[in-house]
Amino acid sequence: MPRIGIIVGSLAKNSINKKVAQALVGLAPADAELTMLDFSELPLYSYDYDANYPQVAKDWKASIEEVDGIIIVTPEYSRSIPGALKNALDWASRPWGTNSFNGKPVAVMGASIGATGTAIAQQHLRTILAHLNAPTMGQPETFFQYNAAAFAPSGEIQDQGAAGVLQNFVDAAVAHVERNAREHTAA
C-alpha cells in the first residue's frame, strides 16, 4: 500500500486548495493511504540554521521521508508558488546533502476560481522539484477550476464532472508513486 503525503501550498484557513486536497483523500484508491503534511510552523529558512536544525524542521523532513510519494496542491500567488511553500521546500532540501525530496515521486496540481489559474505556479514548482531530483508526474496536468457548489458541506465532492477530474488525477498520482517506488526498489 503506497503512503502518499499531501502538501497544500496555501496557509489560508479557508484555502480552496486545502478543500481540494481533502477531497483527494476521499477519492484515493482503497489500497493507498493519503496523509496531509503540515509545514505551517516552520520559520523562514536561513542557512544560519544548518548547523543546529530546529526540531520543527527535522519533523518536517521526517514527514516527507516517511511517505512513498508526495502530492502538492498549490495556488498561484503573483505568477508563482506561495512563499510559504517555497520556504517549506527549502527546509526539506537542507542542510546540504540531506534533501528529503531526493528521488521522492511527486504529483502536482492546483485549484483556482479561474480555468488555468495555477498553470504558471505549477511550472515554477516543477522547476524546483527537478532541482531537488524529485521525479515529477508529467500528465495529467490538472488545473482544477474550483466551484464551491461542487462540494457538499461535509467537504466531499458532489459534482460528477469535477469528481472525474480529481479521480483521474489521484489515480494517476498513485500509479506514479507506485511505479517510481518499484523502480527505486529494483535499483
Domain residue limits, the chain: 3-185
The candidate with the shortest Cα–Cα distance to 64, out of 28, 32, 89, is: 89
Is pLDDT at 35 greater than 90 in this prediction?
yes
Is pLDDT at 100 greater than 70 in this prediction?
yes
Predicted TM-score (pTM) of the model is 0.96
The candidate with the shortest Cα–Cα distance to 150, out of 108, 116, 111, 117, is: 111
Residue given cell 496531509 in the structure block: 36
**Span 153-172, mean pLDDT?**
96
- Residue 117 confidence (pLDDT): 87
Average pLDDT, the chain: 95
The two most distant CA atoms of the chain are separated, in Å, by 51
Q: Does domain 3-185 fall into CATH 3.40.50.360?
A: yes
Which helix (H) or strand (E) is 108 found in, with range? strand 106-112
Query: CA 113 to CA 143: how far, in whole Å?
Result: 10
- Residue 187 confidence (pLDDT): 57
157 DSSP assignment: B
Query: CA 67 to CA 4: how far, in whole Å?
Result: 5
- Residue 115 confidence (pLDDT): 85
Residue given cell 495556488 in the structure block: 75
- Residue 182 confidence (pLDDT): 73
